[in-house]
Amino acid sequence: MTILLAVVLAATVSDVSRLTSVKGVSIPAKVETRQLAGEWYRGDGLGYNLTLTVGEDGRYRATWNGCVGEYGRAAGTWSQRNGHVSLSPTEETEMMVNHLRELTVVTYRGKLLLVPSGRDGNFFVEHGPSDYSCFHREADLPHWWEDSRDEPR
């Protein structure tokens, strides 16, 4: 049990240091549940469009839509601890099976972002915040990302 806990903590520290290596990205000191509640989007506008709805009641739902329709969905419970969001599905279909489990909360230009943990966070680390690399609130998109495309990462 102690070894497993040490491995999980090492992975968490590793993710945090990788993510904060991205210019302008930081880890918020404290995140309230109400700050995470609502609708989040991540995608390329074509075949990979994920919508994640997080409820203050501890439930979530996610759908993957693409150019030929819905590719899968997931629903279950979520929790947040130390800047990490854990998703525990009770239902998953098609392409959403085993797709979303852990997200790390970061800030960029004063906005919260949810970055996939582990290997899925590599695109964020390599290319910075974008529609595709992290979950963000759609209303925030034109304000924080569109004008940052030319900034060095």
**CA atoms lying within 13 Å on the CB side of residue 25:** 26
**CA atoms lying within 13 Å on the CB side of residue 88:** 6
What CATH number did the domain enclosing 100 receive?
A: 2.40.128.360
Query: Could you tell me if residue 13 is inside a domain?
Result: no
Query: Could you tell me if residue 37 is inside a domain?
Result: yes
Query: Could you tell me if residue 101 is inside a domain?
Result: yes
CA angle 79, 82, 87 (to 5 degrees): 25
Question: Which residue range is the domain that position 41 belongs to?
Answer: 18-144
Tally of structural domains, the chain = 1
The 10 Å Cβ neighbour count of residue 22 is 21
Instruction: Write down the pTM of the prediction.
Output: 0.82
Please check the confidence at residue 146 and state whether its pLDDT lies above 90.
no
Task: Using the structure block, give the residue that is written with the tokens 């906005």.
Answer: 111
Q: Which of the two residues, 90 and 17, has the higher pLDDT score?
A: 90
Please check the confidence at residue 153 and state whether its pLDDT lies above 50.
no
